[in-house]
Amino acid sequence: MPQRAISALALIATTACATATQQSPSSSVPSPFTAEQARADSVRSAYTAADVHFMTGMIHHHAQAVLIAGWAPTHDASQSLRALCERIVVGQRDEIALATHWLQQRHETVPDASHDMMPGMDHSMMMPGMLTAEQLGQLHGARGAEFDRLFLTFMIQHHRGAITMVNELFASQGGGEEEIMYRFASDVFADQTTEIDRMQKMLAALLFQGPS
Amino acid sequence: MSTTAPRPDPRVGLRAGWMDAAEAAWNMRVVSRTPPSADFIHPNNPGDFGVINSDLSFTGPYVIQGNFSGLQVWDISNPQSPRLHRAFVCPGSQSDVSVYRNLLFVSGEALNGRTDCGTQGVSDTVSHDRLRGIRIFDITDIANPRHISDVQTCRGSHTHTVVTSPTDADNVYIYVSGSAPVRSPSELAGCSSALPDSNPNSALFRIEVIQVPLAHPEQARIVSSPRIFQGLVAPAQHPEAAEDLAAAARAAADARAKGGYTATVNGMEIILGPGFVRVRLDSIVKARGGTGTPTAADTATLRTNVQGIVDRIVNPPNRGTGPRPGPTQCHDITVYPAIGLAGGACGGYGLLLDIRDVANPRRIGAVADSNFSFWHSATFNNDGTQILFTDEWGGGLQARCRPTDKPEWGANAIFTLSGNTMTFKSYYKLPAPQTANENCVAHNGTLIPIPGRDIMAQGWYQGGISVFDWTDPAHPREIAFFDRGPMDSTKLLGAGSWSAYWYNGYIVSSEIARGLDILELQPSGFLSQNEIDAAKLIHFDYLNAQDQQKLVWPASFVVARAYLDQLARSNGLAPDKVSAARNALSRAEQWSGQRRRDALTRLATQLHGDAQGAADQAKAQTLAAAVTDLANAQR
């Protein structure tokens, strides 16, 4: 799948509903108005440093997943692994865009994840579960069933790291309170927990039941 | 009347806007559009995630619309002009709502949900002010919901399903579904996130079952947490048959009797392949410094240690990546008590559950999808011979109806259902592409009660509403739609239909950012006026979409006419016979009493005869039976 430019115009995150905000005092149904009246910067935010750390880290984390999942077609992965990888690529690319936009809306620094897209480049943003340079090299050198086995092993590790990041977010003071943070983090948790389960079963079938 | 969909599809290229987006509709029309009330809209912040409208429930003339900040009760006695009956602020997504008699149940899972419905959130990581679970209200006076109690759960409630039991008149039950991270045991005793996914004994994929005593709803509590996921396997491809733990155990025992090696992985016994065994035996030989063929002692060593070897591969120790994920639960469960079954959309699986013992639902079948769907909800057809699962890929936040998105991802998967076996037949996805700035994926819907057909209305977020016919499970087909342009043409703001449900003659849609839409079907080449009128014979006193009620049409001329229209459309009965039957019905309708009864009886006899040579014998017989019922109903 060709690398596409990640659109910077992704989901606009919303803010402010976990804490008291100015509500319209009128009890009548408002008349129609134009969207041009909206000004995102007029709304108070209720996010924390932990939220920023999570979104930033998730961009790096997802970027690596997109990288290695993108190898499936060129590394003779099995049909079912290719289907899984394609889904991971599409889904996590969109989540990178969401996280990017969330940070931009709050005038927080958006990390440069382009280095994460290239194997063998060590960097300081090693989030939980991310593959080391050595692991990346191992995976990159594998083909066919060996690629399948290594990919599943490493991606399970990778997904578990994402789960850890979600748990750390929710364990932080005020983290994950903001509505969209909660939703995004919960979705990551739910999706990746499901994928871990699926990958474990694929790995079991590969490891234990294959003919040779 | 036309049976051709409009080309080009008018849903493509619609002008963007919040309340003034362009619209496209086919074979349905908008009856009313009602913006959210003041507490639930922030005009300066379009797409505000804190006030998104969520699911719907109905009781009498009221529709209860959940919202991430609470709920709104609308009086829709006059669908052209819904009236706000009560706006109730109580933050805590997703506010999935259900009703049963005088009780209202609301789901909450977000960290900011408070037991006192306050808007200030809960900043402490552990707090007894936090609500993650089910809120219970008394709605005897629906304008003033009275809080009765809360049932807290370990993972909160993303959705829930109210279940009645034909054998238990004292209680109503709630199946709680959630997929969010687990709470600290300091916040709710007994909650544990230590769920090793490698430990077969604690592969706790489960749902929570709450029992609500109708006479004392304040005593509602969790009564069971059935493990319905244990021992599921990954699919190779379609079609999927239900796995059978017992069959696997038998196969494993058989293999062992023949000298093979087995182990348990994620609760399922598997037979280890010869390659794996050979490699392990070679390692054992090498470990003792030997060479060549493994000895009897070597094979004995492998037998003793094989489970441990497998466990260490599946879950290597000292991984050091922190706490393990909690138990995975279902996203949503639809129950159909009349047939004793439930369909559970649970992570990567579509499950079939036996719910005759309501407090202890039991898994009897499972399907998974080689397209790695993240299944969200399930719907049975009225006969219980088909089941549909939806894949909410992207969680509703993402655009999944782009031209580049596969038609089998983020779609419905349709299965036939026979006994415990679900057999995949086809996918159905919204046929019109949507922009990259429109969140779009299969979401909530219900059957439209057209006798003789399986037709469903469904919300697709900013994909709008799609009405499709899945009577032929292998060839689903869209027959009506409604769509708006995106909220914003430059960026993705969450909006669209969260749910589109049929209720007493209308399709009611909860529009995430725009409020409440009410629509009605219009006759077309796919749907006759008689069929629409027959649907209106079904009257609900209340409706929770995830609790399917058996649809039974009263004996009526319009039902017979609906069947005739279907037979005409499909050439299931010769045109001259259709024509003759229509005339006979009209004549009978003009008469009364015994004369009408005799005429209908004669017609029924005629139709039974006609059915023998009909292309669609089954439907012709159904028609004959409907006319018989009509005859019997005459006094």
If you search the block for the tokens 């989030």, which residue do you land on? A127
Dihedral over Cα of B238, B243, B248, B251: its sign: negative
Residues B209, B174: Cα–Cα separation, whole Å: 6
Neighbours of B279 (CB within 10 A): 11
Q: What is the mean pLDDT of chain B?
A: 90
| pLDDT of B314 | 63
pLDDT digits (tens, 9 = 90+) for B292-313: 899 999 999 999 999 988 877 7
Highest mean predicted confidence (pLDDT) among A159-163, B112-116, B470-474: B470-474
Judge contact between A164 and B193, C-beta under 8 A: no
User: In this complex, is the C-beta atom of B112 within 8 Å of any C-beta atom belonging to chain A?
Assistant: yes
What are the structural domain ranges in chain A?
51-118+128-209
Residues B177, B180: Cα–Cα separation, whole Å: 10
CB contacts of A7 in chain B (<8 Å) are: 436
Residue B7 domain-assigned?
Answer: no
Strand-by-strand arrangement of the B133-138 sheet: B94-100, B103-108, B133-138, B146-152
pLDDT digits (tens, 9 = 90+) for B203-221: 245 688 999 999 999 999 9
Residue B10 domain-assigned?
Answer: no
pLDDT at B200 over 80: no
Q: What percent of chain A has pLDDT over 70?
A: 72
Q: What is the CA radius of gyration of chain B?
A: 27
List the structure tokens of B100: 């049963």
CB contacts of B395 in chain A (<8 Å) are: 183, 187, 190-191
Q: List, in order, residues 6 or more apart from A178 with CB less than 8 Å away.
A: A15, A16, A17, A18, A45, A46, A47, A51, B112
Print the domain residue range for B253. Answer: 245-314
**Beta carbons of A20 and B491 less than 8 Å apart:** no
Q: List, in order, residues 6 or more apart from B274 with CB less than 8 Å away.
A: A211, A212
Judge contact between B398 and B442, C-beta under 8 A: no
pLDDT at A24 over 50: no
User: In this complex, is the C-beta atom of A208 within 8 Å of any C-beta atom belonging to chain B?
Assistant: yes
User: In this complex, is the C-beta atom of A107 within 8 Å of any C-beta atom belonging to chain B?
Assistant: no
Q: Compute the nearest-CA separation of A118 from chain B (Å).
A: 24
| pLDDT of A34 | 32
The closest CB to that of B45, out of A38, A80, A195, belongs to A38
* Domains held by chain B: number: 3
Domain check: are B134 and B182 in the same one? Answer: yes
The closest CB to that of A30, out of B35, B233, B399, belongs to B35
pLDDT digits (tens, 9 = 90+) for B68-81: 999 999 999 999 99
Q: Compute the nearest-CA separation of B386 from chain A (Å).
A: 25
**Beta carbons of B20 and A46 less than 8 Å apart:** no
pLDDT level of residue B201 (50, 70, 90 thresholds): very low
| pLDDT of A128 | 92
Residue B12 domain-assigned?
Answer: no
CA distances from A55 to A7, A162, B618 (A): 17, 11, 58
Residues A131, A169: Cα–Cα separation, whole Å: 21
Residues 113-132 of A with CB under 8 A from B: 128-129
Dihedral over Cα of B474, B479, B482, B486: its sign: positive
Spell out a b/e string for B180-219, using b for 16 or more CB atoms within 10 Å of the CB, else e: bbbbeeebbeebbbebebbbbebbbbbbbbbbbeeeebee
| pLDDT of A211 | 54
Residues B146, B119: Cα–Cα separation, whole Å: 18
Question: What SS3 state is found at A189?
Answer: helix
CB contacts of B329 in chain A (<8 Å) are: none
User: In this complex, is the C-beta atom of A101 within 8 Å of any C-beta atom belonging to chain B?
Assistant: yes
Residue B450 domain-assigned?
Answer: yes
Residues 435-494 of B with CB under 8 A from A: 436-437, 439, 487-488, 490-494
Neighbours of B37 (CB within 10 A): 22
pLDDT at A200 over 90: no
CB contacts of A126 in chain B (<8 Å) are: none
User: In this complex, is the C-beta atom of A27 within 8 Å of any C-beta atom belonging to chain B?
Assistant: yes
> Which amino acid does the sequence have at B418?
S
End-to-end CA distance of chain A: 31
Q: List, in order, residues 6 or more apart from A136 with CB less than 8 Å away.
A: A68, A119, A120
Q: List, in order, residues 6 or more apart from B618 with CB less than 8 Å away.
A: none
**Beta carbons of A28 and B38 less than 8 Å apart:** yes
| pLDDT of B13 | 96
Domain check: are B538 and B593 in the same one? Answer: no
pLDDT at B325 over 60: no
pLDDT level of residue B267 (50, 70, 90 thresholds): low
Is residue A114 exposed (0-12), middle (13-18) or buried (19+ Cβ within 10 Å)? exposed
**Beta carbons of A24 and B125 less than 8 Å apart:** no
Q: Where are the beta strands (DSSP E) in B178-249?
A: 208-213, 221-224
pLDDT level of residue B373 (50, 70, 90 thresholds): confident
Residues B158, B332: Cα–Cα separation, whole Å: 8
| pLDDT of B634 | 87
Residue B474 domain-assigned?
Answer: yes
User: In this complex, is the C-beta atom of A2 within 8 Å of any C-beta atom belonging to chain B?
Assistant: no
The closest CB to that of A177, out of B112, B399, B405, belongs to B112
Domain check: are B525 and B592 in the same one? Answer: no
User: In this complex, is the C-beta atom of B393 within 8 Å of any C-beta atom belonging to chain A?
Assistant: yes
The closest CB to that of A35, out of B17, B111, B271, belongs to B17
The closest CB to that of B276, out of A40, A179, A208, belongs to A208
Judge contact between B235 and B370, C-beta under 8 A: yes
If you search the block for the tokens 């049929």, which residue do you land on? B502
CB contacts of A197 in chain B (<8 Å) are: 197, 266, 328, 347-348
| pLDDT of B172 | 97
Nearest to B177 by CA among B68, B395, B327, B331: B331
pLDDT digits (tens, 9 = 90+) for B566-608: 999 999 999 999 999 999 999 999 999 999 999 999 999 999 9
Residue B8 domain-assigned?
Answer: no
pLDDT at B562 over 90: yes
**Beta carbons of B19 and A33 less than 8 Å apart:** yes
If you search the block for the tokens 């898994």, which residue do you land on? B363
| pLDDT of B160 | 95
Residues B185, B197: Cα–Cα separation, whole Å: 19
Q: Compute the nearest-CA separation of A114 from chain B (Å).
A: 22
User: In this complex, is the C-beta atom of A166 within 8 Å of any C-beta atom belonging to chain B?
Assistant: yes
**Beta carbons of A43 and B436 less than 8 Å apart:** no
Residues B399, B441: Cα–Cα separation, whole Å: 7
> Which amino acid does the sequence have at B426?
S
CB contacts of B438 in chain A (<8 Å) are: none
* CATH T-level fold of A51-118+128-209: Ferritin (1.20.1260)
Q: What is the mean pLDDT of chain A?
A: 77
User: In this complex, is the C-beta atom of A68 within 8 Å of any C-beta atom belonging to chain B?
Assistant: no
Domain check: are B578 and B503 in the same one? Answer: no
* pTM assigned to the model: 0.86
Query: Which residue on chain A is closest to B487 by alpha carbon?
Result: A35
**Beta carbons of B43 and A26 less than 8 Å apart:** no
Range list of H helices, B474-513: none
| pLDDT of A118 | 59
User: In this complex, is the C-beta atom of A13 within 8 Å of any C-beta atom belonging to chain B?
Assistant: yes
The closest CB to that of A11, out of B236, B397, B405, belongs to B397
Dihedral over Cα of A50, A54, A55, A60: its sign: positive
pLDDT level of residue A116 (50, 70, 90 thresholds): low
CA distances from A206 to A146, B270, B273, B301, B386 (A): 10, 12, 9, 23, 33
Residue B481 domain-assigned?
Answer: yes
Beta-bridge partners for B52? none
pLDDT at B450 over 80: yes
Q: Which of B389, B397, B439, B493 to probe by mutation at the A interface, max A CB count within 10 Å? A: B397
**Beta carbons of B276 and A12 less than 8 Å apart:** no
pLDDT at B60 over 60: yes
Mean pLDDT of B342-371: 87
User: In this complex, is the C-beta atom of B411 within 8 Å of any C-beta atom belonging to chain A?
Assistant: no
Element (H, E) at A98: helix A79-105
pLDDT digits (tens, 9 = 90+) for B491-532: 999 999 999 999 999 999 999 999 999 999 999 999 999 999
Q: Which of A118-127, B231-240, B337-346, B624-633 has the lowest mean pLDDT?
A: B231-240
Mean pLDDT of B371-378: 82
| pLDDT of B245 | 59
pLDDT at A29 over 90: no
Residue B201 domain-assigned?
Answer: yes
Domain check: are B564 and B536 in the same one? Answer: no
Q: Compute the nearest-CA separation of B39 from chain A (Å).
A: 6
Residues A102, B426: Cα–Cα separation, whole Å: 37
CB contacts of B493 in chain A (<8 Å) are: 11-12
Domain check: are B298 and B429 in the same one? Answer: no
Planar angle of CA B44, B45, B47, nearest 5 degrees = 145
Q: Which of B116, B310, B321, B514 to probe by mutation at the A interface, max A CB count within 10 Å? A: B321
pLDDT at A39 over 90: no
Size of interface A-B (CB pairs under 8 A): 266
pLDDT at B162 over 80: yes
Residues B235, A100: Cα–Cα separation, whole Å: 35
pLDDT level of residue B347 (50, 70, 90 thresholds): confident
Judge contact between B470 and B428, C-beta under 8 A: yes
Note the residue count of chain A.
Answer: 212
Q: What percent of chain B has pLDDT over 70?
A: 91
| pLDDT of B232 | 61
Domain check: are B212 and B286 in the same one? Answer: no
pLDDT at B333 over 60: yes
State the DSSP code for B460.
B
pLDDT at B234 over 60: no
> What's the ipTM?
0.80
Query: Which residue on chain B is closest to A94 by alpha carbon?
Result: B398
Q: Which of B109-113, B344-348, B396-400, B422-426 has the lowest mean pLDDT?
A: B344-348
